[in-house]
Structure 1
Amino acid sequence: MKKLLILLLLFSNAAMAQESMQLWYKQPARRWEEALPVGNGRMGAMVYGRPEKEILQVNEESVWAGVKFNDANPNAYKVLDTIRQLLFEGKNQEALTIAQANFLAVDAENSTKTARAFRSYQTLMNVNIHYGFSAYDHYKRSLDLNTGIAATTFTVNGVEYKQEVLASAPDNVIVVHITASKPGSINAAFSIDRPDIRDTSNRFADCRVTAAGSSQLVLNGQINDKNGREDRGPEGLHMKFAGMLQVSNAGGSRAVNGQEIKVKNANTVTLYIQGATNYNYKKQDFENAVSALNKCKKLLQSAAAKSYANISAKHVQDLEPIMERVSLRINGPHADDLPTDERLLRTKQGIEDPHLISLFFQYGRYLLVSSSRAPGVLPANLQGIWNQHLDAPWNADFHTNINLQMNYWPAEVTNISFTTAPLFDFMDYIRPEGRITAKKMYNARGWVVHHCTDAFGKTGVQNGVAWGTFPMAASWMCLHFWEHFAFTLDYAFLKNKAYPVMKEHALFVEDYLVKSPEGYLVTSPGSSPENQFVHPVTGKPTGLTYGPTMDSQILREFLGKCIAAAKALRTDSAEIARWESIIAQLPPTKTGKDGRILEWMQEYQEVEPGHRHISHLFGLHPGTQITEQTPALYEGALRTLTGRLAKGGGHTGWSRAWIINFYARLKQADSVRNHLQALFAKSTLPNLFDNHPPFQIDGNFGATAGIAEALLQSHGDYVELLPAVPAEWTSGEIKGLCARGGFVLDIAWENGTLSAVKVHSTTGRNLVLKYRQHLLPLTVERGKEITVSVDQLL
């Protein structure tokens, strides 16, 4: 009893127990990958913290090159049966040759001309603050994850300067506040620019900067798309964009000098940063009649009428409760008194720092909240919302063969379910284009999207047939709709949003599947994302095939959830019977001679035994088909991972993050710890961004989900506590994790053993808790919280 009282006290003081929620550094950022991110879902900024010439690289979520058009190749259906027959006959190269000529996305202006890749998400502008201090003392820059404020402090000649940057969701603006300990000490010059402007040849300049009065700078432009070595769609003037900076000073003077605003002898300076485009997210298109500049002016006028104190207070009141929904404390050696980059370096050298794991976990939550929420309307892309390029790596697009999905793995379990709203709207609005593509390419009903898309909702086969032929991307995306319902039991959402999207895509699945020579219903053509095998006859690498394991696992999961949704809504009995029949005819997941899960229908030799994608383990995670109840496949999954890693697998950040989740599902606690360490050592940048390389944000989100998966799992018939907690995490607590069924749990452990549990129910459903081999059925009334007697689980 005494022990229980102590632990109850520990839970009541969880906020006090929470570890550091601050990234901090003793020097300015030298490069973008060291800068610190702020974001409000629509706008983001990377803050360098430079006392000489400060840079805030600013993004607005909808600044996209390109234009809306349906890129589906109408020739695909004409050769579909031929390609399928060739694949069934083992003539993969012949099938690929035909597919390359007839499947690749086409240019809107010329249906015989392929548009192999669409265009990129772009930076909006840089805000430059020329302080001019080359010598300074007592420097520190930091990012507080609870408040979302990036602060820079330093001292010059005894005067302490402080710069605070935040991206407010309530007021829909980025604000910078500059103060000094001595009145009249702020002297600075402010400017804005964009990479195009700095191109001295002026070949690509698509905007200009002007002053508006003595307090505003205006960047006004229109993206001028041009093709280089490959066709990327229609050329010409497309998306309109605008950025504005308003400078407000208390004390001193302010004057415009060309494209620069100078402030002298001020007591404080507040900057209001705004951006806008003529993008319409419901249409997934821009509107030529809309003025991006007028939108920008209205947004700025609304925010700039408020003081920094007012905006900051509302911002903190909004963000802090969200971040505090979940707290994680891991006892053990730490280096909280060291700067974050030094802590990371120590971890790369193999020194344990469990508190850094807690910080990294919370950083993933912070990044998702900051890049996927209102006032934003688009989901988090490959870089979240933060991108310095005009032509970003992989276009900073929406990759739907794992990356977009991984972005949202932590959303439900880490208590930030609301971040999924932009994702669901995006997939809903993409359906009209997906219907056209389904009909054009496959003469199928329903809707489809392949392996990637952009802000204009393209749904064709991009980046090559072997990479792009992945229509099961839509099935996988639909599973996120189900997951939201599974965690929240929001029946209105299921009925009005999720099930219509799922049911319509199921029509595509029904029409796309064909009988294989083995007698199964299979996808054809298909691919195991980005991977290839050695053809047993020709000896050449090939990726285009039929019935890859991942496709069948996704379909089994997707159709199973369609059935569950229909039953929950008490509708569509005929569809349920049809879907059950399809599931029964899908190829089973099989193991090969060495016990590993087979990636394809046959046991082929692998071209890259250490490939970054481990797609055939979808059934283990995020799927639910490979569990302890399927021991042969469970062991096969473990052998698959061991084999991939022995050949160099996990060499990208997102891949390593997925591996952490795999090992959590396999209850391999030591491997969870080892691969978190490897993620830090090989794939984490100084600002804790994930490194693909280069920067790609999915590894951050996947790792946060993996840490949660080690602490709590609810994908089976029970809620399992501490399923894969590493031995090095000897004691600790997690507060606020969510489980399917509408539960929120607080869990504590001491010396590696469960020591306290609280369960809050939002739905009033029954649940079964599992710890090690013990099961405990519970009833928790809706809106109530109970403290569980741990003795019943030990």
Structure 2
Amino acid sequence: MKKILILLLLLSSAAFAQEQSLQLWYKQPAQRWEEALPVGNGRLGAMVYGRTGKEILQINEESVWAGNKFNDANPNAFRYLDTIRKLIFAGENEEALNLAQKNFVAVDDENSNRIARNFRSYQTLMNVNIDYGFTDVTDYKRQLNLINGIATTTYKVNGIEYKQEVLASAPDNVIVVRITTVKPGTINAILSLDRPDTKDTANHMKDCTVTALKNQLILNGRINDKNTKDLRGPEGYHMRFAGMLQAVPQGGTVIAKQQTLQVKNAVALTLYIQGATNYNAVKQDVDEGANIALNKCKQLLQKAVLRSYALIAASHVKDFEPYMKRVQLQINEPALDELPTDERLTLTKTGKEDTHLIALYFQYGRYLLLSSSRKPGVLPANLQGIWNQHIDAPWNADFHTNINLQMNYWPAEVCNLTETTAPLFDFMDRIRPEGRKTAKKMYDARGWVVHHCTDAFGKTGVQANAAFGTFPMAASWMCLHFWEHFAFTLDYEFLKSKAYPLMKEHALFVEDFLVKSPEGYLVTNPGSSPENRFKHPVTGKPTGITYGPTMDNQILREFLSKCISAAKILRTDSLEAVKWDSIIKLLPPTKIGKDGRILEWINEYEEAEPGHRHISHLFGLHPGTQITEQTPSLFEGAMRTLTGRLSKGGGHTGWSRAWIINFYARLKQEDSVRYHLQALFAKSTLPNLFDNHPPFQIDGNFGGTAGIAEALLQSHGDYVELLPALPAAWNNGSVTGLRARGGFELDITWKDGALSGLKLRSVGGRNLVLKYRQHLLPLTIERGKEIIVPVNQLL
């Protein structure tokens, strides 16, 4: 009976995927990492190449990080803070930057004050190599089923069919590979583990060892942090890591030989893959002990191998599938999916529009978020989610908090994956102790702060560059995600116990950090508009360090307004709410320049890079709520800003293009939503549909998914708006399970470009106003109830 139940679960999942065509599939193996297919359970990830000769599964464990824990706030900062502020107010930006570069940038204060201009990188754990030895194969196909989260490779050798399945199970906390064939005794393979080193390939294993023992391979090592030109933190041996593989054949034999396992004459083979480190998420530090990582890895593996592949797969599907089925999107008629995914993508690069690819990409973003940010994982999705092949990754595959980490979670609530936010919230909560030290050391301020990026050890100082790194409003922005979680879920206990304490404590920093400007405003100083610069009006030299940039003001207005709302809901801190309101009134307003565009800085400066990838001064449009149709001059100014930035080459990175899609959805410009989705596919999407910065950076996937949702449903204003930016090419369709602020879930259908059906569910029993085009409909829905809304009342 149990086997029948398992079979029915797997068959139902396969049938749903076929009906919806929710799979990436290819006619050939991956030749490079950007063609491989990802699986993940939040803690472990694998990139599956699907090769028939020498197969590669590149394995990640979320906590494999170079570096170590220390507070990196520069202790000289407060000594020079007042001088830097005076120089900036006086227009002496270059002098201020020179002083800040020497005294603001992160240092290792616990190690002779040596400059540590940046932290170190998230790293790959290992490669699992499976040498099948097949060269001439037929009927080849590899695919990734987004509904059940299983990557499958099938092919024939001399008429004999072989099948490889790979999944990353959250319930069993393990990666499992199942290899089967129709002819007994024909599975033969050599299994090995290795770990790449980007620069020292001759000695790439010297910081770890591989041992073969009976039916196991054990990789055990410790990260050796070496001296680098940019002085990235203390040298020495730091984090310990371990990876293991256990081979369980059905029929045949497996023997250990040197550093390999040799499997002979099996009819089926199950590989259990495990990884662990000595990282302690609560401390954001490592636990001391030579065998902690290895023992943890062994314990996890021993528990997993007690269960068969069939049981693990059934538990995995039962767990994974309901998340993916919560939201279903169909645009136009169901596609037959006759073309491989890479061929479909290639056609979009020639100008062909593919609405099925749009729906697939949308669900792929949900799949990637679910696979890289959930229990048993304890860290949020980083710049590469969880999938990273490098020892020294681009941008360290870190947590960039000047938009990228935030963008990773834009689809979480609206796309009905609220559970994926838990690692993010825990991480930000645990970063506060370091943030308090940094606030005190650098600004003599109360509260906590983090600047433009951080790592697994919770660094909160100014990284690398004083102009770009001086972005303390990153903390304010991160706090808004806590509020958004409450807005969508109405989880009052979360607001009371987790969100509001963190928000209120950061508000203390804001109170102490803001200073009066020559114009009489309360402003950030020093500050920056993320990674952008303007030409100094006197010297003509590009500079980034400034005071009161537009994004800072918009973030602060949003953040303090939400603090006030939270205090009112919780019926607490009325005096603080009055104080926060008085601060809001003294913030610089968002201004329009002579050419009708929104100003990025407090004054109208010439842009050093008119097509810059960051469009930070439109934060108030998205993800903020300050620029809407109710502010017509700013609404028009945002349109002109986008037009100007794009005319100069803006949107050239994947994540920037994704942000632009969200901007145009908020501006109700459906043709532009369509155009920039097409551009995202054509210019910034890799063969496996990963986002291309370039190189790979996952935030564009998440931002693109959020942009598609934003075109179908918006709830940031005073109403829940239906199909606000529906492209004309999406003539017919439906979406089920999207979430709206206020605790609502909606199923929407449309026909011939017009709303044709609406089902509404409420988790909180709140009143709401629906908006469709120019029509408004007030509704009251009881808690837990579902209603079908008569569409004629909205037409």
Q: Place the TM-score, normalised by the shorter chain, in its bin.
A: over 0.9
Q: Deviations over 1:476-527 (max 9, x none)?
A: 0000000000000000000000000000000000000000000000000000
CA distance in structure 1 between the aligned counterparts of 2:742 and 2:700, rounded to whole angstroms:
27
Partner of 1:348: 349
Q: Counterparts of 1:427-438 in structure 2 under 5 Å?
A: 427-438=428-439
CA RMSD of aligned residues (A): 1.3
Deviation at 1:202, TM superposition (A): 2.1
> Structure 1 residues 198, 453: closer, same or farther in 2, change over 3 A?
closer
Deviation at 1:261, TM superposition (A): 0.5
Partner of 1:575: 576
Give the residue type in structure 1 aligned to 2:480. L
Deviation at 1:196, TM superposition (A): 3.9
Q: Secondary structure at the match of 2:203?
A: coil
Do the aligned partners of 1:669 and 1:727 also contact (CA within 8 Å) in 2?
yes
Partner of 2:637: 636
Q: Counterparts of 1:569-648 in structure 2 under 5 Å?
A: 569-648=570-649
CA distance in structure 2 between the aligned counterparts of 1:198 and 1:182, rounded to whole angstroms:
44
Partner of 1:3: none
Deviation at 1:333, TM superposition (A): 9.0
Do the aligned partners of 2:362 and 2:705 also contact (CA within 8 Å) in 1?
yes
Q: TM-score, normalised by structure 1?
A: 0.97
Partner of 1:404: 405
Deviation at 1:110, TM superposition (A): 3.6
> Structure 1 residues 108, 272: closer, same or farther in 2, change over 3 A?
farther
Partner of 2:497: 496
Partner of 2:84: 83
Give the residue type in structure 1 aligned to 2:24. L
Do the aligned partners of 2:250 and 2:269 also contact (CA within 8 Å) in 1?
yes
Q: Secondary structure at the match of 1:458?
A: coil
Partner of 2:10: none
Are positions 1:726 and 2:727 aligned together? yes
Q: Secondary structure at the match of 2:572?
A: coil
Q: Counterparts of 1:350-429 in structure 2 under 5 Å?
A: 350-429=351-430
Q: Counterparts of 1:278-677 in structure 2 under 5 Å?
A: 278-289=278-289, 291-331=292-332, 336-677=337-678
Give the residue type in structure 2 aligned to 1:609. P
Do the aligned partners of 1:335 and 1:343 also contact (CA within 8 Å) in 2?
no
Are positions 1:233 and 2:228 aligned together? no
CA distance in structure 1 between the aligned counterparts of 2:484 and 2:598, rounded to whole angstroms:
25
CA distance in structure 2 between the aligned counterparts of 1:511 and 1:62, rounded to whole angstroms:
34
Q: Deviations over 1:382-420 (max 9, x none)?
A: 000000000000000000000000000000000000000
Do the aligned partners of 1:763 and 1:783 also contact (CA within 8 Å) in 2?
yes
Partner of 1:243: 243
> Structure 1 residues 627, 352: closer, same or farther in 2, change over 3 A?
same
Partner of 1:255: 255
CA distance in structure 1 between the aligned counterparts of 2:243 and 2:585, rounded to whole angstroms:
55
Deviation at 1:204, TM superposition (A): 7.2
Do the aligned partners of 1:522 and 1:552 also contact (CA within 8 Å) in 2?
yes
Do the aligned partners of 1:65 and 1:225 also contact (CA within 8 Å) in 2?
yes
Do the aligned partners of 2:742 and 2:764 also contact (CA within 8 Å) in 1?
yes
Partner of 2:702: 701
Deviation at 1:227, TM superposition (A): 1.4
Deviation at 1:185, TM superposition (A): 1.0
Are positions 1:35 and 2:36 aligned together? yes
CA distance in structure 2 between the aligned counterparts of 1:557 and 1:769, rounded to whole angstroms:
23
Q: Secondary structure at the match of 1:210?
A: strand
Deviation at 1:348, TM superposition (A): 1.1
Unaligned runs of 5+ in 2: 1-14
Q: Secondary structure at the match of 1:689?
A: coil
CA distance in structure 2 between the aligned counterparts of 1:185 and 1:197, rounded to whole angstroms:
36
Q: Secondary structure at the match of 1:263?
A: strand
Deviation at 1:680, TM superposition (A): 0.2
Q: Deviations over 1:745-775 (max 9, x none)?
A: 0000000000000000011111110000000
Partner of 1:5: none
Deviation at 1:18, TM superposition (A): 6.2
CA distance in structure 1 between the aligned counterparts of 2:198 and 2:410, rounded to whole angstroms:
39
Deviation at 1:187, TM superposition (A): 0.7
Do the aligned partners of 2:44 and 2:59 also contact (CA within 8 Å) in 1?
yes
Partner of 1:65: 66
Partner of 1:163: 164
CA distance in structure 2 between the aligned counterparts of 1:530 and 1:18, rounded to whole angstroms:
45
Q: Secondary structure at the match of 2:730?
A: coil
Deviation at 1:73, TM superposition (A): 0.2
Q: Secondary structure at the match of 1:85?
A: helix
Deviation at 1:362, TM superposition (A): 0.2
Q: Secondary structure at the match of 1:315?
A: helix
CA distance in structure 2 between the aligned counterparts of 1:333 and 1:634, rounded to whole angstroms:
36
Deviation at 1:199, TM superposition (A): 4.4
Do the aligned partners of 1:332 and 1:730 also contact (CA within 8 Å) in 2?
no
Partner of 2:7: none
Q: Secondary structure at the match of 1:254?
A: strand
Do the aligned partners of 2:70 and 2:110 also contact (CA within 8 Å) in 1?
no
Q: Deviations over 1:686-730 (max 9, x none)?
A: 000000000000000000000000000000010000000100000
Partner of 1:681: 682
Do the aligned partners of 1:33 and 1:685 also contact (CA within 8 Å) in 2?
yes
Q: TM-score, normalised by structure 2?
A: 0.97
Give the residue type in structure 2 aligned to 1:773. Q
CA distance in structure 1 between the aligned counterparts of 2:95 and 2:393, rounded to whole angstroms:
34
Partner of 1:773: 774
Do the aligned partners of 1:109 and 1:234 also contact (CA within 8 Å) in 2?
no
> Structure 1 residues 17, 718: closer, same or farther in 2, change over 3 A?
farther
CA distance in structure 1 between the aligned counterparts of 2:774 and 2:18, rounded to whole angstroms:
30
CA distance in structure 1 between the aligned counterparts of 2:790 and 2:625, rounded to whole angstroms:
29
Q: Counterparts of 1:154-193 in structure 2 under 5 Å?
A: 154-193=155-194
Do the aligned partners of 2:75 and 2:109 also contact (CA within 8 Å) in 1?
no
Q: Secondary structure at the match of 2:692?
A: coil
What fraction of aligned residue pairs are identical, expressed as a percent? 76
CA distance in structure 2 between the aligned counterparts of 1:147 and 1:234, rounded to whole angstroms:
43
Deviation at 1:288, TM superposition (A): 1.3
Do the aligned partners of 1:19 and 1:358 also contact (CA within 8 Å) in 2?
no
Q: Deviations over 1:9-52 (max 9, x none)?
A: xxxxx979963110000000000000000000000000000000
Partner of 1:749: 750
> Structure 1 residues 18, 524: closer, same or farther in 2, change over 3 A?
farther
Q: Deviations over 1:105-137 (max 9, x none)?
A: 002444542211110000000000000001100
Do the aligned partners of 1:329 and 1:734 also contact (CA within 8 Å) in 2?
yes
Do the aligned partners of 2:97 and 2:545 also contact (CA within 8 Å) in 1?
yes
Deviation at 1:255, TM superposition (A): 1.1
Q: Deviations over 1:59-109 (max 9, x none)?
A: 000000000000000100001010101111111001111101100000244
Q: Secondary structure at the match of 1:741?
A: coil
Give the residue type in structure 1 aligned to 2:345. L
CA distance in structure 1 between the aligned counterparts of 2:228 and 2:714, rounded to whole angstroms:
48
Once the two structures are overlaid, the 10-residue window that deviates more, 651-660 or 290-299, is 290-299
CA distance in structure 2 between the aligned counterparts of 1:319 and 1:589, rounded to whole angstroms:
44
Partner of 2:220: 220
Q: Secondary structure at the match of 1:86?
A: helix
Are positions 1:267 and 2:259 aligned together? no
The count of aligned residue pairs is 780
Do the aligned partners of 2:17 and 2:147 also contact (CA within 8 Å) in 1?
no
Do the aligned partners of 2:74 and 2:109 also contact (CA within 8 Å) in 1?
no
Q: Secondary structure at the match of 2:175?
A: strand
Give the residue type in structure 2 aligned to 1:61. E
CA distance in structure 1 between the aligned counterparts of 2:59 and 2:202, rounded to whole angstroms:
24
Q: Deviations over 1:407-446 (max 9, x none)?
A: 0000000000000000000000000000000000000000
Give the residue type in structure 2 aligned to 1:277. T
CA distance in structure 2 between the aligned counterparts of 1:291 and 1:199, rounded to whole angstroms:
27
Give the residue type in structure 1 aligned to 2:361. F
Give the residue type in structure 2 aligned to 1:776. L
> Structure 1 residues 91, 200: closer, same or farther in 2, change over 3 A?
closer
Deviation at 1:197, TM superposition (A): 11
CA distance in structure 1 between the aligned counterparts of 2:167 and 2:205, rounded to whole angstroms:
31
> Structure 1 residues 242, 333: closer, same or farther in 2, change over 3 A?
closer
Do the aligned partners of 1:196 and 1:205 also contact (CA within 8 Å) in 2?
no
Partner of 1:94: 95
Do the aligned partners of 2:17 and 2:23 also contact (CA within 8 Å) in 1?
no
Do the aligned partners of 1:328 and 1:733 also contact (CA within 8 Å) in 2?
yes
Do the aligned partners of 1:743 and 1:759 also contact (CA within 8 Å) in 2?
yes
Do the aligned partners of 1:121 and 1:397 also contact (CA within 8 Å) in 2?
yes
Once the two structures are overlaid, the 10-residue window that deviates more, 255-264 or 537-546, is 255-264
